[in-house]
Structures are given as structure tokens and as C-alpha cells.
């Protein structure tokens, strides 16, 4: 909000505000107005946006007019208001709100305008260092009350984490951000601190180091006989953070008398190791996993995949957090081996209920609907601009995510085999490419390792990063070009911890020296440690043989991407940092990477003592089905899918939606990455918000089963499927949280071994708790499983929409009473019961045989059964094909019809085939349960009879469609 003390003087710059003409609509204005009305701000009745620009006062009037006519205002759509430096604009509205990025926050638009002023010849070369800034001028004709105006500013028009807001105040900031302090060496005295003081130092410095770690650092520097510099301490904090080191997964755990030394190595990575698949090219040690794809025209191609969590940043800035989440995982793929081309993105969100009453939103949190809209827009604007199709994912809704939403972003890459390995050699130049470094994203790695609290929004403003996808696209184009010219041999991305992590990791085995003053900055005034740990986005670090340096820089220059040599790798085993020749850090790489104390954590798990409820008797199963279809987790997500470009790169085989109207929810998606290959790549995910609290092991196994169902249903080969794990849990220093994590990890091992599906990459986020006062709330334990599967022949891909009246409908797989954690229970407010858990002695063979039947082209349609069970799957397939179904529940199962319709037992599929293929299909499936349900029918009705033949459900597809579209639509 505007503060009374500030000077009200307008900026000393030309000001241009571009409004939509009254003859055309104002999309941004109506968008904001709708959001204000959704918040109940009824005194806001109109809003219009002026896109604002501050141009240099050195410009003469002709230059300003040319800028407006040629670059800023559209002759058909816009009218512009120009105000001379130091003057106030002639505003038309009663009230106005100006929103500008805080000084130092990335503003891609102003950078584009600065460049365009020169290329258009408006600014002569003599005016090189022009400063242009942008802002938004919102004008209102109405007279809103003060509270509404404040809420509008804070909750609709601006994000106070990154924006400054002026209400009825013209004093916009024009100028560079204020410079920081002098840059000598700063030593941090800690040798004489006691335990309490060490902890205080860690907390005040946002280091997120615990006592054992602080004591280890103290001991190390005591041995050296000196105090650490602030650069050294920050480097240790970044490198040892949970985010970078995965201390929980790699530490020691004691549970029920068992000692687990390194949970990752004894479960997830163990499965990969024991399965030892020849098509796993690189697993667990690089930025992403790499698996073999196909050989075409003498070149072998691999696929790489990585899925990341980006939870905490998305909680305080959903738009920026989700966008930089995508940007970060894309860089993981750009940085795997010698670089892969990103060919697909996926996103998965876990948020609170979209209809949560406002009074139930915890203090300091945003409403789930605002969070969801924000993360969707963030993924949209980053992924679409990068030219990477966002093809797969999901949204899960649960009260437990209200204060701590989960945002997962994943990317698949395509790379030639020769690029799968890399090396760092002493003497190679350390080259940074891409974005400039600013004060954005300081302490992101350590921030994400602590719990959120009601002041997170204001406390951690510096931890939020701002994305600039076009800069990352330039990096992508330059990097792949330099790769193909084989100009570099070492590579990684700048993610959490910034340069400190990137250079520290690359030089871990040899040593590195960096001159921090060579790092290109967005603006002057950063301290050496800020440069070193900034998480400014869109940066990569290359290791370049000195003889290739000029050629490499030239390749990036041709793409308009900055490439700068900042140091070189050494053979000293030390990390040496200087700023303007002054030594800032001189550390032993071994201590940095291996010196942190391994900790032992206690784990325990007690199955919650909840009595199993009776199987509910449903008076009207049809009404129950419609209610389930309208539940947010089940309902249509088209409003999200349509905002993502899922077609760019032209690889579509099975998209996120299928069917006559292209609105049926596909299971897995299938891409055709290499034009000259027959092969395809299927991507599917599995997750559940409700199973884990009841039975974490069953949840893990069910999620893996679901991810596999999704890719196999679309035609993926289960024998060539790899998995990725992303655990989001509560605070795992608490034994019960850690106990459920151990059970889930064991489930991952058992499933992967049985199914022959190795894990190739993973990432965890283990402090998802929200503190209000003395209480903390943990999220439901949430495991996102992603599956990447190869299709031998894309022409054999299968979609989920019913195809032809008269075809046979079959249910494949066994149904049991698995209503625990089901959508039906959630709908009816029931708790407890048996969570679905796959039978690992039969499921692998069932997947293999179903795939075989698809390779024999026996299957016309296949849809996996998940939330809502058989009834929901039938409804979705019928709706997507705009064809009815006339079916009867299988007899002799001993199951109550409620279970038959809505149980969520795993490893089940709805299959449609031509009647003359039924026998061959049954033969192909061997002894697995295959029940004939009935027939596809022309009449657009979903008719389901009980096992006795009495009608249970009889619904018009129009009603089904309406229910499916009845939930939150953005």
C-alpha cells in the first residue's frame, strides 16, 4: 500500500499509458473485475487497464511519439496517453491504482522494449544505456470503499511479494535499485558461539542448518584456525540443504528395531540396480534419468525425464512459483548429459477445495481457487512461450492442501546417445549462459527446507524467483546448437543454490575458481555472496575447453543469449572465490560435499484406528454417479487443458483429451518424437490424496499401478516402462511422518521389482507443514508417480472413447471391496476401510497380456478404472464417444453393487472390442478375470443393471456430460 511518508512527486520520465479504445473490450479489465466480484468486492463495478511505460527523459517528443505509434499502441485497438517527465497524467477515472515491479525484480517487457527502441532506430546508438520500466495503471470510474480498494490492490491487481502498489498516488519509482553495501570480505565469527547462539545464527541468516551441522562447521573452521567468510557459510548452507542433499532419504532411519541406512539406496534405487535394465542409460546421478528410445538413420536416440516439486514458492506466489517450477525442470532436461531437447511438459497440482468457504482459509494463505488459477496461468505462460507442449498431469483436491499446495512440474527430453555423458576437466572454462544475476531468489533452497507459516509471504519475498521464458528459449536454442557443434563437455543447470550449487557440483571432483565480479548482473550493488547464491532464473553453467571458448560464446551470441566466462576448473580439490581480486572463499571440496554429519532419525507407524464402515446402500446409484462426476478431482479439467499448448512440435498421437468432441479425459498421452521412427512415448501419472493417510504402502503401490495403467491403456509397453517418484510429505523429523514415508518407499521397491519397472529419477519435498501459532498442519502424504513408456508402433495406440455401437464391453481385472479412501467415501463423508492395493503376484502378467492384445490390434477402446471406479469409467468413455452403453454388473462375484460400481480396486480396465475378437482377447488374457459387461449402443444412454438384471443406473449422456462439467471451471 502507499505509505503516507513517501514523496508524491511523479517520476522524472516520459510516461505512456496505453488503454483499450472504448470501441473494443478490455480483456484484462474484465478479467480483474470478474476476480474482484468473485471476492465479493461489490463496490468495485468497473476497471480498466492502462499498460504503462516510463521512457527516458532524454527522449525528445518525436522519439516518444514514434515509440508509441510503432511499438506501444495498436492503431485499431488502443489509445495512448502521454505525460511529460515530472508531470501528472490527466486521469479520467475517480480512482487509480498503479502497480509496478519492485526495483530489481525481473521485468522482461522492459528489456524487450529497450532492445526494440534500438532495432527500430528510435533510440540512436549514442543513447545506449536507456532505462525503460513498465507498470500497470488501473483506473476505476466507480468510488469503491477503502477496504475493497485495498483488497482489490492486494489480492487481484498485485502480488505484494514482487510488486509495489500506489493508490491514488503518481510517484512511480524510476531508476536503478539502490546499491548494496561495500564488498570487502565479511567474516562470520562463530568459533566462540555456544549452541544456542549457533542456532540463532542459522535461523537469523536463513541458513536452515541444524545444531549438529552448525557444530560440524564450527569444528571444521576451528581446525583451520579461522572464522568462515559469509560466502563460505552460505555455500555450506546451500549445499547441505535438505533441498539439495536429501538428508532424510540418504540418512539413517531407525524403525521398529530395523536400521535403514539410506532409504533411497535400500528401496527405490535398489530396485533400479537389481532390475538392471539394459535400456536404462543414466539413472539417479545426473539432472534427469535417461532411457533408450530408438535408432533411426544410424543415430541412437534416448529420452530423458525429470519431475520436480515447487511447492513453497507456489504457495506464496502461485503464478511465479509454477512458472519457475516449469522453467527449472526444463533446465534439468537442458542440463542432462550434454543437453536434451525438451519435448513435453507435465504438471500436477494438489490444492484445497475450490469451493472452500473463505472463513476457512487459514490466515496468511490464499484461497485454493486463486492458487489454482495462478499456477495454471504460470504453467501456461512459461510452457507455451518455451514451445514445449504441456501434455499430461492432473489436479487433486483435498482440504489438507489448503495451506500448503503442491505443484509438480515435469519435462521429457529427446537427445542423441552421444550426448548422454559429460565430464569436467581441470583447465576448462566455467561459462555461464542465459539470464543475468539479480537479487531475486536469494535463499530459495533453504527456504524450501523449512515449514511455511503465516508470515512466509512477507518473510521470504526474496526467495521468489521471476521467470522469463523467452530468455530460457534463447538458452535452449543456443545450447542445442553448441552441443551439436560439440563445443563444451561439462554442463549443469543453475537451480536451487544458484551458482554455488552448480559450480560446486561440477567441480566437486577436481576444484574450481570463480571471479564473482565477472558474473553479469541485472543491476549493480550485489554483494559477492548474493551473486554466488542468487537463484535468478534461466541460467546454465558450461565447462568449455579453452580452445572452444570463442566459438561457444559466438553460438549463444547469435541467439541473443549472454555467455560469460567467470572462472575455470582446477585440480586442487578446492573451491576458490574472488571478488575484484579479493579472496572470498577457499574451501575444501571434500568437506563441502561429504562433510555434513549423517543423522539418525526415528520412524514409527501406527495404522489409524478407524473402524471399517458398512458398505453404503445407495437409493439412487445414478444420482451418486452424477455427484461423483461433479467432484472436482473427477470432473472435467478442460478449462485447464485448453490453456496449454499441447500440440506444439506436432507430435500428437494421443492427447490429453480424446473422442468425438475431443473432451474425454485420456489416460496416458502418446507422443511421436522422431518423425522417421514408428515408436511412440507414452506418459502417465498416478497419485491419490486420500489413500496415504490410511495406508501409505498401499497408496504407493496403487499410485504405481495407476501410472502404469495409464500408459498401458494408451498402448505403452509395460516391459519398457520407467518410473519417477516425487514424495511430498510433512516434517519427517517427526517419527509418524517418517514412518509413513518408509512404508511408501518399501511399497515402491516391491512394486518396481514385481512389475520390472525401474525408477530412473526422483525428487522429494519433505517439509510440507503449515504453522499457525503453536500448531502445525501436515499435508496428506502424497506420492506422485510418473511413468514413461515406449510404444513399439504408434499406429497401435488406443484411445478411451467408445467407438462403435454393437461392440462388446469387457471389464478386465478383479474388483474387491476397496472403498477406503475412495471418492465415494469422500462424497458420503465416510472414513476408514480398505485402501486399494494391487496384487503384485498377478498384476504384472495382466499388464503384459493386455499390451499383447493391443499389439494384435484386438482392442478398440481401453480406459483405466481409477477414482469413482467402473461407473465413472463407463460414463467417461460413453460421453467421449457420444455412444451409449447397455451393461450388466458381473454375477457371482459376491460383491455388493455399490462396490461393483464404485470400488477403486487397482489393475482394472474397461475394454471395447469387435464381437468377433472376444474369443481371441479372452485367450490373450489367459486366466485373468475378464467379465463381459454388455454392448456399446447408439442410443445415448448409460444403462447399468445389477447382477440380477434389475436396472441400477439409467442416465441420458446429456446429464452425464452436464455433471462432468458442473465443477469449478476456473
DSSP for residue 867: T
Residue 904 touches other proteins, criterion: CB under 8 A: no
- Asked whether the beta carbons of 52 and 17 are under 8 A apart, the reply is yes
Residue from 22, 75, 581, 829 binding other proteins (CB under 8 A): 75
Residue from 49, 72, 452, 482 binding other proteins (CB under 8 A): 72
Minimum CB–partner distance for residue 918 and other proteins (Å): 19
Distance CA 809, CA 324 (A): 44
- Asked whether the beta carbons of 316 and 770 are under 8 A apart, the reply is no
Residue number with CB closer to other proteins (609 or 676): 676
Residue from 43, 112, 572, 965 binding other proteins (CB under 8 A): 112
- Asked whether the beta carbons of 772 and 734 are under 8 A apart, the reply is no
Residue number with CB closer to other proteins (71 or 275): 71
Distance CA 415, CA 410 (A): 16
Site for other proteins in 118-177 (CB under 8 A): 119-121
Q: How remote is the C-alpha of 437 from its chain's centroid?
A: 23
Closest CA to 728 of 758, 699, 698, 760: 699
Residue 113 touches other proteins, criterion: CB under 8 A: yes
Applying CB under 8 A, the span of 329-337, 720-728, 793-801, 939-947 interacting with other proteins comes to: 793-801
Residue number with CB closer to other proteins (367 or 646): 646
Q: Which of 243, 312, 720, 743 is catalytic?
A: 243
Strand partners, 99: 136, 165
DSSP strands (E only) in 721-879: 721-728, 759-765, 769-772, 775-778, 782-791, 808-812, 861-864
Distance CA 904, CA 894 (A): 16
Residue from 84, 186, 565, 660 binding other proteins (CB under 8 A): 660
Residue 906 touches other proteins, criterion: CB under 8 A: no
Cβ-based burial of 568 (10 A; exposed 0-12, middle 13-18, buried ≥19): buried
How many positions of this chain bind other proteins (CB under 8 A)? 62
Residue 436 touches other proteins, criterion: CB under 8 A: no
- Tell me the CA end-to-end span of the chain in Å, nearest whole number: 28
Q: Which of 183, 310, 312, 443 is catalytic?
A: 310
Applying CB under 8 A, the span of 183-191, 464-472, 500-508, 832-840 interacting with other proteins comes to: 464-472
Site for other proteins in 12-41 (CB under 8 A): 24, 27, 30-31
**Residues 6 or more apart in contact with residue 215 via CB below 8 angstroms:** 195, 198
- The residue length of the chain stands at 970
Site for other proteins in 633-652 (CB under 8 A): 641-650, 652
Residue 863 touches other proteins, criterion: CB under 8 A: no
Residue number with CB closer to other proteins (793 or 845): 793
Distance CA 938, CA 940 (A): 6
Site for other proteins in 555-584 (CB under 8 A): 558-560
Q: What angle do CA 792, 795, 801 make, to 5 degrees?
A: 115
Distance CA 603, CA 742 (A): 8
Closest CA to 730 of 454, 450, 455: 450
Residue number with CB closer to other proteins (381 or 399): 381
Minimum CB–partner distance for residue 559 and other proteins (Å): 7
Residue 662 touches other proteins, criterion: CB under 8 A: yes
Residue from 39, 176, 224, 470 binding other proteins (CB under 8 A): 470
User: In which order are the strands placed within the sheet that holds 600-603?
Assistant: 258-261, 252-255, 600-603
Q: Is 646 a catalytic residue?
A: no
Residue from 473, 483, 697, 737 binding other proteins (CB under 8 A): 473
Residue 385 touches other proteins, criterion: CB under 8 A: yes
Residue 855 touches other proteins, criterion: CB under 8 A: no
Applying CB under 8 A, the span of 193-201, 791-799, 808-816, 896-904 interacting with other proteins comes to: 791-799
**Residue window 395-424: x/- pattern of binding to other proteins, with contact defined by CB under 8 A:** ------------------------------
Closest CA to 700 of 399, 405, 263, 401: 263
Applying CB under 8 A, the span of 37-45, 107-115, 302-310, 482-490 interacting with other proteins comes to: 107-115
**Residues 6 or more apart in contact with residue 454 via CB below 8 angstroms:** 362, 363, 364, 365, 771, 772
Q: Is 243 a catalytic residue?
A: yes
- Asked whether the beta carbons of 863 and 910 are under 8 A apart, the reply is yes
Strand partners, 25: none
Residue number with CB closer to other proteins (134 or 633): 134
Q: Give me the DSSP letters along 703-727.
A: HHHHHHHHHHHTT--GGGEEEEEEE
Interhelix angle 621-629/957-964, nearest 10 degrees: 40
Q: What 3-state class would DSSP assign to 910?
A: strand
Residue 857 touches other proteins, criterion: CB under 8 A: no
Distance CA 964, CA 875 (A): 9
Residue number with CB closer to other proteins (462 or 664): 664
Closest CA to 474 of 558, 566, 379: 558
Residue from 386, 512, 555, 744 binding other proteins (CB under 8 A): 386
Residue number with CB closer to other proteins (277 or 646): 646
Residue from 116, 191, 361, 753 binding other proteins (CB under 8 A): 116
Strand partners, 669: 683
Residue number with CB closer to other proteins (235 or 666): 666
Residue number with CB closer to other proteins (116 or 459): 116
Residue number with CB closer to other proteins (505 or 559): 559
Residue 74 touches other proteins, criterion: CB under 8 A: yes
Residue 916 touches other proteins, criterion: CB under 8 A: no
Closest CA to 711 of 652, 653, 789: 789
Applying CB under 8 A, the span of 105-113, 141-149, 183-191, 778-786 interacting with other proteins comes to: 105-113
Residue 938 touches other proteins, criterion: CB under 8 A: no
Residue 672 touches other proteins, criterion: CB under 8 A: yes
Residue 914 touches other proteins, criterion: CB under 8 A: no
The cell for 363 is 490466515
Residue from 298, 675, 892, 894 binding other proteins (CB under 8 A): 675
- Asked whether the beta carbons of 943 and 901 are under 8 A apart, the reply is no
Residue number with CB closer to other proteins (37 or 795): 795
Residue from 367, 443, 474, 539 binding other proteins (CB under 8 A): 474
Q: What are phi and psi of 531, to 5 degrees?
A: -60, -40
- Asked whether the beta carbons of 489 and 423 are under 8 A apart, the reply is yes
Minimum CB–partner distance for residue 949 and other proteins (Å): 31
Q: Give me the DSSP letters along 127-151.
A: --S---EEEEEEEESS---HHHHHH
Minimum CB–partner distance for residue 648 and other proteins (Å): 6
Minimum CB–partner distance for residue 492 and other proteins (Å): 24
- Asked whether the beta carbons of 441 and 536 are under 8 A apart, the reply is yes
Q: What 3-state class would DSSP assign to 197?
A: helix
Distance CA 325, CA 134 (A): 25
Residue from 69, 425, 486, 857 binding other proteins (CB under 8 A): 69
Site for other proteins in 796-825 (CB under 8 A): 797-799, 801, 803
Site for other proteins in 881-900 (CB under 8 A): 881
Residue number with CB closer to other proteins (119 or 950): 119
Annotated catalytic sites, by residue? 243, 310
Interacting residues with other proteins (CB under 8 A): 24, 27, 30-31, 69-72, 74-77, 108-109, 112-113, 115-116, 119-121, 380, 384-387, 468-470, 473-474, 558-560, 641-650, 652-653, 655, 657-660, 662, 672, 675, 794-795, 797-799, 801, 803, 881
Amino acid at each position: 500500500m502507499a505509505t503516507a511518508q513517501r514523496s508524491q512527486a511523479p517520476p522524472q520520465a516520459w510516461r505512456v499509458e496505453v488503454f483499450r479504445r472504448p470501441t473494443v473490450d478490455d480483456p484484462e479489465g474484465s478479467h480483474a473485475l470478474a476476480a474482484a466480484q468473485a471476492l465479493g468486492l461489490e463496490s468495485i463495478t468497473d476497471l480498466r487497464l492502462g499498460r504503462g511505460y516510463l521512457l527516458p527523459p532524454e527522449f525528445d517528443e518525436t522519439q516518444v511519439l514514434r515509440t508509441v505509434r510503432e511499438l506501444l499502441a495498436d492503431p485499431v485497438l488502443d489509445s495512448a496517453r502521454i505525460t511529460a517527465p515530472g508531470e501528472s497524467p490527466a486521469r479520467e477515472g475517480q480512482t487509480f491504482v498503479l502497480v509496478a515491479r519492485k526495483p530489481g525484480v525481473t521485468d522482461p517487457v522492459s528489456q524487450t522494449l529497450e532492445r526494440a527502441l534500438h532495432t527500430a532506430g528510435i533510440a540512436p546508438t549514442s543513447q545506449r544505456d536507456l532505462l525503460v520500466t513498465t507498470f500497470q495503471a488501473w483506473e476505476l470510474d466507480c468510488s469503491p470503499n477503502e477496504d475493497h480498494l485495498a483488497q482489490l490492490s492486494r489480492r487481484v491487481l498485485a502480488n505484494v511479494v514482487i510488486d509495489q502498489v500506489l493508490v491514488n498516488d503518481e510517484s512511480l519509482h524510476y531508476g536503478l535499485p539502490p546499491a548494496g553495501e561495500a564488498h570487502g570480505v565479511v567474516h562470520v565469527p562463530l568459533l566462540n558461539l555456544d549452541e544456542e547462539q549457533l542456532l540463532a545464527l542459522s535461523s537469523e541468516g536463513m541458513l536452515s542448518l541444524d545444531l549438529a551441522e552448525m557444530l560440524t562447521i564450527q569444528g571444521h573452521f576451528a581446525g583451520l584456525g579461522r572464522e568462515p567468510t559469509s560466502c563460505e557459510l552460505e555455500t555450506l548452507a546451500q549445499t547441505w540443504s535438505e533441498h539439495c542433499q536429501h538428508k532424510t532419504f540418504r540418512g539413517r532411519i531407525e524403525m521398529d528395531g530395523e536400521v535403514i541406512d539410506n532409504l533411497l539406496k535400500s528401496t527405490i534405487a535398489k530396485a533400479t540396480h537389481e532390475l538392471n535394465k539394459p535400456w536404462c542409460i543414466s539413472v539417479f546421478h545426473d539432472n534427469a534419468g535417461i532411457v533408450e528410445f530408438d535408432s533411426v538413420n544410424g543415430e541412437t536416440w534416448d529420452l530423458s525425464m525429470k519431475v520436480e516439486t515447487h511447492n513453497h514458492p507456489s504457495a506464496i506466489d502461485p503464478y511465479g512459483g509454477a512458472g519457475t517450477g516449469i522453467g527449472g525442470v526444463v533446465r534439468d532436461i537442458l542440463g542432462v548429459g550434454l543437453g536434451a531437447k525438451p519435448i513435453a511438459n507435465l504438471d500436477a497440482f494438489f490444492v484445497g477445495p475450490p469451493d472452500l468457504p473463505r472463513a476457512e482459509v487459514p490466515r496468511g494463505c490464499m484461497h485454493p481457487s486463486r492458487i489454482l488459477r495462478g499456477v495454471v496461468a504460470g504453467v501456461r505462460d512459461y510452457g507455451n512461450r518455451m514451445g514445449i507442449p504441456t501434455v499430461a498431469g492432473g489436479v487433486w483436491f483435498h482440504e489438507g492442501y489448503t495451506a500448503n499446495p503442491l505443484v509438480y512440474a515435469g519435462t521429457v527430453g529427446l537427445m542423441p546417445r552421444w550426448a548422454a555423458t559429460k565430464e569436467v576437466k581441470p583447465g576448462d572454462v566455467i561459462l555461464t549462459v542465459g539470464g543475468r544475476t539479480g537479487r531475486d531468489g536469494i535463499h530459495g533452497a533453504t527456504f524450501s527446507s523449512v515449514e511455511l507459516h503465516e508470515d512466509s509471504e512477507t518473510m521470504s519475498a526474496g526467495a521468489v524467483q521471476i521467470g522469463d521464458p523467452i530468455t530460457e528459449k534463447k538458452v535452449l536454442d543456443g545450447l542445442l546448437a553448441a552441443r551439436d557443434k560439440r563445443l563444451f563437455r561439462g554442463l549443469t543447470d543453475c537451480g536451487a543454490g544458484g551458482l554455488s550449487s552448480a559450480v560446486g557440483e561440477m567441480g566437486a571432483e577436481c576444484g574450481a575458481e570463480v571471479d564473482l565480479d565477472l558474473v553479469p548482473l541485472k543491476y549493480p550493488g550485489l554483494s559477492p555472496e548474493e551473486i554466488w547464491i542468487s537463484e535468478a532464473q534461466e541460467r546454465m553453467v558450461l565447462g568449455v575447453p579453452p580452445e572452444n571458448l570463442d566459438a561457444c560464446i559466438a553460438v549463444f551470441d547469435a541467439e541473443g543469449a549472454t555467455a560469460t566466462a567467470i572462472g575455470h576448473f582446477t585440480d586442487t580439490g578446492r573451491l576458490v572465490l574472488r571478488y575484484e581480486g579479493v579472496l572470498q572463499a577457499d574451501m575444501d571440496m571434500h568437506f563441502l560435499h561429504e562433510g555434513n554429519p549423517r543423522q539418525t532419525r526415528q520412524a514409527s507407524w501406527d495404522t489409524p484406528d478407524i473402524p471399517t464402515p458398512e458398505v453404503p446402500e445407495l437409493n439412487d446409484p445414478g444420482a451418486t454417479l452424477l455427484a461423483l462426476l461433479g467432484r472436482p478431482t473427477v470432473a472435467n479439467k478442460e478449462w485447464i487443458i485448453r490453456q496449454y499448448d499441447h500440440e506444439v512440435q506436432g507430435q500428437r498421437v494421443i492427447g490429453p483429451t480424446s473422442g468425438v468432441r475431443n473432451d474425454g479425459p485420456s489416460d496416458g498421452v502418446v507422443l511421436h518424437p522422431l518423425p522417421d521412427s514408428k515408436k511412440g512415448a507414452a506418459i502417465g501419472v498416478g497419485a491419490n490424496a486420500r489413500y496415504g493417510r490410511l495406508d501409505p504402502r498401499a497408496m504407493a503401490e496403487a499410485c504405481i499401478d495407476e501410472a502404469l495403467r495409464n500408459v498401458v491403456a494408451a498402448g505403452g509397453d509395460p516391459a519398457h516402462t520407467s518410473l519417477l517418484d516425487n514424495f511430498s510429505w510433512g516434517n519427517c523429523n517427526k517419527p509418524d511422518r517418517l514412518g509413513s514415508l518408509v512404508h511408501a518407499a518399501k511399497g515402491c521397491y516391491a512394486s518396481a521389482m514385481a512389475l520390472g519397472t525401474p525408477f530412473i529419477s526422483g525428487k522429494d519435498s519433505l517439509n510440507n507443514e503449515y504453522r499457525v501459532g503453536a500448531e502445525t498442519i501436515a499435508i496428506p502424504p502424497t506420492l506422485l508417480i510418473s511413468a514413461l513408456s515406449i510404444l513399439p508402433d504408434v499406429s497401435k495406440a488406443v484411445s478411451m472413447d467408445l467407438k462403435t455401437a454393437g461392440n462388446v464391453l469387457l471389464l478386465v481385472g478383479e474388483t474387491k471391496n476397496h472403498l477406503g479412501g475412495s471418492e465415494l467415501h469422500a462424497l458420503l463423508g465416510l472414513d476408514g476401510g480398505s485402501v486399494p492395493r494391487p496384487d503384485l503376484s498377478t498384476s504384472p502378467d495382466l499388464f503384459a497380456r493386455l499390451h499383447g492384445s493391443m499389439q494384435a490390434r484386438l482392442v478398440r477402446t481401453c480406459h483405466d478404472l481409477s477414482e469413482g471406479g467402473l461407473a465413472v469409467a463407463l460414463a467417461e468413455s460413453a460421453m467421449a464417444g457420444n455412444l451409449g452403453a447397455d451393461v450388466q454388473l458381473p454375477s457371482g462375484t459376491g460383491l455388493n453393487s455399490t462396490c461393483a460400481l464404485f470400488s477403486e480396486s487397482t489393475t482394472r480396465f474397461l475394454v471395447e472390442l469387435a464381437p468377433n475378437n472376444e474369443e481371441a482377447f479372452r485367450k490373450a488374457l489367459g486366466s485373468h478375470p475378464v467379465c463381459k459387461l454388455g454392448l456399446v449402443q447408439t442410443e445415448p444412454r448409460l444403462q447399468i443393471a445389477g447382477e440380477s438384471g434389475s436396472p441400477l443406473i439409467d442416465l441420458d449422456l446429456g446429464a452425464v456430460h452436464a455433471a462432468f462439467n458442473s465443477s469449478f471451471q476456473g
